[in-house]
Amino acid sequence: MPTAPTVPGARVTARGWGWRHAARHARAVSGLDLVLEPGERVLLLGASGAGKSTLLAGLAGVLGGDEEGDAEGELLVDGTEPARQRGRVGLVLQDPDSQVVLARVGDDVAFGCENLGVPRDETWRRVDAALAAVGLDLPRDHPTTQLSGGQKQRLALAGALALRPGLLLLDEPTANLDPEGVVEVRDAVARTAAATGTTLVVVEHRVSTWLPVVDRVVVLAAGGGVLADGPPGVVLDEQRDVLVDAGVWVPGAALALPARRVRLADDETPAVLLRAQGLAVGRRGTRGPAVAADVDAVVRAGRALVVTGDNGAGKSTLALTLAGLLAPAGGSLTADDALASGAGPAPVRWRSRQLLTRIGTVFQEPEHQFLAPTVRSELAVGPEALGLPAEEVAARVDGLLARLRLAHLAGANPFTLSGGEQRRLSVATVLATRPRVLVLDEPTFGQDARTWRELVALLGELLDEGSSIVAVSHDPDFVAALADDVLDLSAHATSVASRRGAPA
């Protein structure tokens, strides 16, 4: 990336600052006292729900408009309220879809520069440099609708870098990226920060990725204020036990992988539920270009199939096809009688009510599947659609609220939850209908170490009970904990590798 003109990094000041979302009793952040000096590169940590994303939103000046609520204390960027610092702050959100504005890649990256009145020639120089920096090797006129989740994440980052902000805020910027993409994006951010002098604040649960490029770690306490603050080595060494107890992913700390209670014997052949043969998948069903082809896979009862591969390889598209939500672009996908139970062999032809108890889907972006005004009512949508008695609906909802640490948020609006809380809710909404097959796209996204273990343990119990899981994931710990079969959907591999000896 060409060296950019140096700009002064922004100074951040918080004095007793806090924020409470509308209709919430507890504050998402409270009593925060913090100073970030210009040019500092800060890794912001804390348990899921500690208020990290809320703090970034406050610094970006997007709280108080459409995001209703009330603030306490003072939060300033260069001594001024963030909302008045037009163009001074760049923000990349957890949900890249929410930041895609225009139909073409180049236009989307240029959008912020054009709003700031950057001259045309300079705008396009910045666009090309930003796209190159994040490794999004696509022409300017490439449609944004044809980007994968990971590519959209790179696009959002490119748009922020093109602004040359004094304060760059990144909320889980590598969550949807393959391992190679994680390193590329991290290094692009580090180069940009070094070249421009920008102040950098990164929220990322997986700490080890960003340690080489940050000079300070700040840990938010779940009850308000700061739990730890200082140089990375000092904080992680001296506060190790405290951070582990808080759910922070501390490098080198032992990760207790939940153990599956039941293991299939080598000579057991579990029932086939779904079978893909020569399957081709495309974003627009049979009318669109195939993004993956010649896929052979078998989904069996009591086994987890994890789909991995490069960004843009078609993982999410394959997941939606296996879930019966997209028509195959070629080949065949059939449901055996053990799953179809009279509904017919083609899942894409099943009615919504037939899908509810057969295949449940968790989308890559949690917000895309929320329908109700509260967490409790969201969990009740599926069971009520099945016509279950009120007592059974309440029992299922209460059980899931407790198991996934959402009970204290039962009356909250799903759209005000943190990214990790939204992910757990999206998984819970599917579990509420108890389908035979769960299709999950990045199910561990945004989880702290504690909620990660609880979520993986719950999925393991479902496998033990005979349910089947198809999961798209870049999380190696998740693969190690749950995968029975791995389908590598990268450009050069579409075969299933059996991991535990059972027939594939």
Number of domains in the chain: 2
Q: Per residue in 255-266, pLDDT tens? A: 777 666 565 555
* pLDDT for the residue 265: 55
Query: Is there a single domain that holds both residue 139 and residue 177?
Result: yes
Q: Per residue in 379-434, pLDDT tens? A: 999 999 999 999 999 999 999 999 888 999 999 999 888 878 888 899 999 999 99
Query: Is there a single domain that holds both residue 125 and residue 235?
Result: yes
Instruction: Give pairs for 214-217: CB < 8 Å, separation 24+.
Output: 214/41, 214/42, 214/43, 215/40, 215/41, 215/42, 216/36, 216/40, 216/41, 216/42, 216/43, 217/42, 217/43, 217/45
Lowest mean pLDDT among 176-190, 235-249, 482-496: 482-496
Q: pLDDT band for position 372 (50/70/90)?
A: very high
Query: Is there a single domain that holds both residue 395 and residue 444?
Result: yes
Asked whether the beta carbons of 333 and 347 are under 8 A apart, the reply is yes
Sheet holding 437-441, edge to edge: 359-362, 437-441, 468-472, 304-308, 485-488, 496-498
Query: Is there a single domain that holds both residue 302 and residue 204?
Result: no
CA distance 230 to 219: 9
DSSP string, 161-208: HHT--SEEEEESTTTTS-HHHHHHHHHHHHHHHHHH--EEEEE-SBGG
Query: Is there a single domain that holds both residue 238 and residue 301?
Result: no
Residue 500 has pLDDT above 80, yes or no: no
Q: For the residues 440-461, what does the mean pLDDT come to?
A: 88
Q: Which of 246, 264, 286 is the C-terminal boundary of a domain?
A: 246
Query: Is there a single domain that holds both residue 353 and residue 432?
Result: yes
In a domain, 44, yes or no: yes
- Helix (H), strand (E) at residue 226: strand 226-230
In a domain, 423, yes or no: yes
* pLDDT for the residue 276: 95
Q: Per residue in 4-63, pLDDT tens? A: 445 689 999 999 999 998 878 888 899 999 999 999 999 999 988 889 999 999 999 988
Query: Is there a single domain that holds both residue 190 and residue 309?
Result: no
In a domain, 24, yes or no: no
Residue 459 has pLDDT above 60, yes or no: yes
Q: Which of 201, 230, 246 is the C-terminal boundary of a domain?
A: 246
* pLDDT for the residue 262: 61
Residue 315 has pLDDT above 60, yes or no: yes
**If we measure between CA atoms, which residue out of 471, 454, 474, 463 comes closest to residue 258?**
454
In a domain, 255, yes or no: no
Question: What share of the chain in percent tops pLDDT 90?
Answer: 54
| Residue 196, φ and ψ in degrees, nearest 5 | -105, -20
Residue 135, Ramachandran bin (φ over 0: left; ψ between -120 and 50: alpha; else beta): left
Q: pLDDT band for position 225 (50/70/90)?
A: very high
CA distance 188 to 462: 40
CA distance 78 to 38: 9
Q: pLDDT band for position 274 (50/70/90)?
A: very high
SS3 91: strand
Query: Is there a single domain that holds both residue 112 and residue 195?
Result: yes
* pLDDT for the residue 369: 84
- Top-confidence residue, 416 or 94: 416
Query: Is there a single domain that holds both residue 94 and residue 222?
Result: yes
In a domain, 251, yes or no: no
Query: Is there a single domain that holds both residue 232 and residue 95?
Result: yes
Instruction: Provide the residue range defining the domain that includes 110.
Output: 40-67+81-246
In a domain, 433, yes or no: yes
Query: Is there a single domain that holds both residue 57 and residue 125?
Result: yes
Residue 450 has pLDDT above 80, yes or no: yes
Angstrom distances, CA of residue 166 to CA of 8, 42, 89, 163, 439: 6, 14, 6, 9, 41
* CATH number for the domain that contains residue 287: 3.40.50.300
In a domain, 76, yes or no: no
Residue 89 has pLDDT above 90, yes or no: yes
- Helix (H), strand (E) at residue 230: strand 226-230
Residue 301 has pLDDT above 70, yes or no: yes
In a domain, 452, yes or no: yes
Q: For the residues 338-345, what does the mean pLDDT come to?
A: 93
Query: Is there a single domain that holds both residue 135 and residue 238?
Result: yes
